[in-house]
Structure 1
Amino acid sequence: METNLTLYRIFNSVAGTGNISRSSKELFISQPAVSKAIQALEDNLHMTLFIRSSRGVRLTEEGSLLYEYTKSAFDTLKQGELTLFRMQELGMGHLRIGVSNTLCKYILLPYLKDFVKQYPHIKITMECQSTYKTLELLNQNKIDIGLIGKPDNLKGMDFYEIQQIEDIFVSTQTYLDNLSLQLSKNTRNKVSPKAQNATEILRYSNVMLLDEKNITRLYVEDYFTRNNIKTNQLLEVSSMDLLIDFAKIGLGISCVIKEFIQEELKTGELLELPLDPPLEKRSVGFAHSKEAFLPQAVKHFINFYKERCISQVHILK
């Protein structure tokens, strides 16, 4: 657009009021400045837009046509401003979150439940996939926030830890008893969940882990390698819920997250098999790109989970 937008704004005001004096007051500029701007616009367009008279001004045919467009344009801009103000006032906006199915169910949902109560007008879109895929989407600016297990490399990311999780191996007592009977045919040693080390149990058991694309799987396999732990039969399972359910029916020994099966451990439905050394705890938190523009809805969510974490720390104290 070659013509200065200010000239169109002045033209739109004069066309709407039909009077240079009223437009001058409306725009908070002098009458000569208004007249000069109208003349400049007419010179730029090489046509007459107003017919002047002692009673004011009226639009020419060309001026009337131009006014239809400027009025629509400035009305749209005004509506845009009002929408932005309303979004800010009501906390509206769009929040895109990436998270694995497991972290979504056990960690994210409680956050979202309280967040939605506080910001009911924010639209939330979920992308459920692995941590590595979440990091990829963050780098591509296709999501705003990711709930992830902290990876080794967080280059270009801000990470805020909200809790730690512990990976453990569990099974039922029935499975251990059956395994002990099976092994007793070849050895006099019986398998017990109170064994000093679960290495032997894992060597002869059906060991169930998440699929290879999962960060938890890689973390556990690295532990196996560092501690020279060999497994007999390895079964890949697609979700944490299935790992827990398969362990409950006695299909084998599952690697699960301890914080997600507190009730099963408390009732004895599942037994934790001690490892020496134990798997180190991992950090889980929200991450976002350092370089990405953060819309107001994203800022609301960041402030929300930070304040919630601070409140939880105070409660624990």
Structure 2
Amino acid sequence: MTSKLDAYRVFNEVAKQKSFSRAAKALYMTQPAVSQTIMNLEEELGTRLFTRTSKGVVLTNDGQLLYEYISSALNLIEMGERKISESKNLMVGEMKLGVGDTISKYYLLPYLEKFHSDFPNVKLKIINRTTLELCAMLKSGEIDIAVCNLPVKDPAIEVLKCIDIHDVFVCGEKYRYLAIKPRSIEEILQFPVIFLESKSNSRQYVEKYFLAKGIKIQPEIELGSHDLLLEFAKFNFGISCVIEEFAQEYLSNRSVYKIRLLEEIPARAIGFCFLKSVSLSAAARKFVSITLER
């Protein structure tokens, strides 16, 4: 049984070829099958679409009217199919990525550079938010994928771990003597401590760990970015809790010093987050692959 769309494809080809036989050849059909399809279409529409001539067929007035719309519609369908193919091959498209400032600066940029170099026609839309905000944006469909501080515990969100990270305390020259030997957290908290704002996933992770040990954190200063934590420690405002992997430049040039703990804070991770109920786009899948392979 010929579908309505197939019938219109046959009609469109006959109109272009001005011949049932040439249309049949182009469509890899028999001429009787083409003729029957046109007859059925004419019967359904209640009008004649073609007039036979000695040289083939020509469109009637109604046929010409229909052809203008059908030709346009089929061209749009073909364009849509072509765009899907291009998107799958990453020739065009868009990837909406959510990530925090710190992760994008200290971890993600080399992978974004590689992706952009390999697929320059894929438009990148980068949105910087906290982990909590990014999870909400994932569920509202505002972004395709996010790179977040883990853990993220949401039944609607799939998590794919990238790397482990470690929360440590650092200080400037004024408190450098604290870095000579391992210290207890109780000893550290005798000094001014500097943390990220309470809404950040990093702060909540460390705070929860210490609360489980009966230790309540009361920061002297709360800041909105990881870079500021390092700068405030460098200028001796207090002892900052930072991510060791993202503080390597400061540690290597001795702008700040790591204070070892008698009992180190357990490692956590950063990773990709995406909705379980929605398939990742070709661009997002490729970006995940590039990030995890390197």
Q: Hey, what's the Cα distance between the residues in 2 that align with 1:233 and 1:18?
A: 82
Partner SS state of residue 189, structure 2: helix
1:1-317 correspondence to structure 2 within 5 Å: 4-89=4-89, 91-151=91-151, 153=153, 155-174=155-174, 176=175, 192-194=178-180, 196-230=182-216, 233-308=219-294
Q: Is the 8 A contact 2:207 2:217 kept in 1?
A: no
Moved more, 230-239 or 141-150: 230-239
Unpaired runs of at least 5, structure 1: 178-190, 309-317
Say which is worse superposed, 23-32 or 129-138, in terms of deviation: 129-138
2:103 counterpart letter in structure 1: L
8 A contact 1:93–1:122 mirrored in 2:
yes
Larger mean CA deviation between 281-290 and 56-65 belongs to 281-290
> 1:247 touches 1:253 (CA, 8 Å); kept in 2?
yes
Q: Which runs of 5+ in 2 are unaligned?
A: none
Mapped partners of 2:254, 2:284: distance in 1: 42
Superposed displacement of residue 196, structure 1: 4.2
Deviation at 1:99, TM superposition (A): 1.0
Which residue identity does 1:293 align to in structure 2? Answer: S
For 2:218 and 2:203, the matched residues in 1 are separated by: 16
How many residue pairs match? The answer is 292
Aligned partners of 1:232 and 1:158: how far apart in 2?
33
Task: Specify whether residues 60 and 272 from structure 1 end up closer, same or farther in structure 2 by C-alpha distance, changes over 3 A only.
Answer: same
Which stretch of the first structure deviates more once superposed, 276-285 or 202-211? 202-211
Shift of 1:67: 0.7
- State the alpha-carbon separation in 2 of the partners of residues 269 and 11 from structure 1: 76
Report the alpha carbon displacement of residue 55 of structure 1 after superposing the two structures with TM: 2.7
Query: What's the CA shift for 1:232?
Result: 5.8
Aligned-residue offset at 1:87: 3.7
Query: Please, which moves more after superposition, 82-91 or 219-228?
Result: 82-91
**Alignment-mate amino acid for residue 162 of structure 1:** C
Give the letter for the 2:227 counterpart.
D
TM-score, normalised with respect to structure 2: 0.90
Letter in 1 for 2:12: N
C-alpha distance in 2, partners of 1:28/1:145? Answer: 44
The CA deviation at 1:71 is 1.0
SS of the residue corresponding to residue 298 of structure 1 reads helix
Distance in 2, Cα, partners of 1:192 & 1:302: 40
Alignment deviations for residues 189-229 of structure 1 (CA, whole Å, 9 cap, x no partner):
xx733354243554333221111111111112113322333
**3-state SS in 2 of match to 1:269:** coil
Percent of residue pairs bearing the same amino acid type? 36
SS in 1 for 2:242: strand
CA contact (8 A) 1:96 1:144 kept: yes
- What amino acid is aligned across from residue 225 of structure 1 in structure 2? L
- Name the Cα RMSD after superposition: 2.2
Does the CA contact (< 8 Å) of 1:198 and 1:273 recur in 2? no
Q: 1:225 to 1:95 in 2, by over 3 A?
A: same
SS of the equivalent of 1:84 reads helix
Contact 1:7 1:37 in 2 (8 A): yes
Deviation at 1:263, TM superposition (A): 2.9
Q: SS at 1:227's partner residue?
A: coil
Kept in 2, the 8 Å contact 1:166–1:280? The answer is yes
The aligned counterpart of 1:180 is none
User: How many Å apart are 1:103 and its aligned residue?
Assistant: 0.7
Matched letter for residue 205 of structure 2? Y
Say if 1:47 and 1:108 are closer, same or farther in 2 by CA, change over 3 A. Answer: same
Stretch deviating more after TM superposition (80-89 or 31-40): 80-89
The answer as to whether partners of 2:173 and 2:234 remain within 8 angstroms in 1 is: no
Q: 1:239 Cα shift?
A: 0.7
Distance 2:30 2:249 in 1: 76
Cα distance in 1, alignment partners of residues 250 and 151 from structure 2:
28
In structure 1, distance between residues paired with 2:76 and 2:218: 68
Moved more, 204-213 or 140-149: 140-149
Q: Is the 8 A contact 2:99 2:127 kept in 1?
A: yes
Deviation at 1:156, TM superposition (A): 4.4
| Contact 1:12 1:70 survives alignment (8 Å) | yes
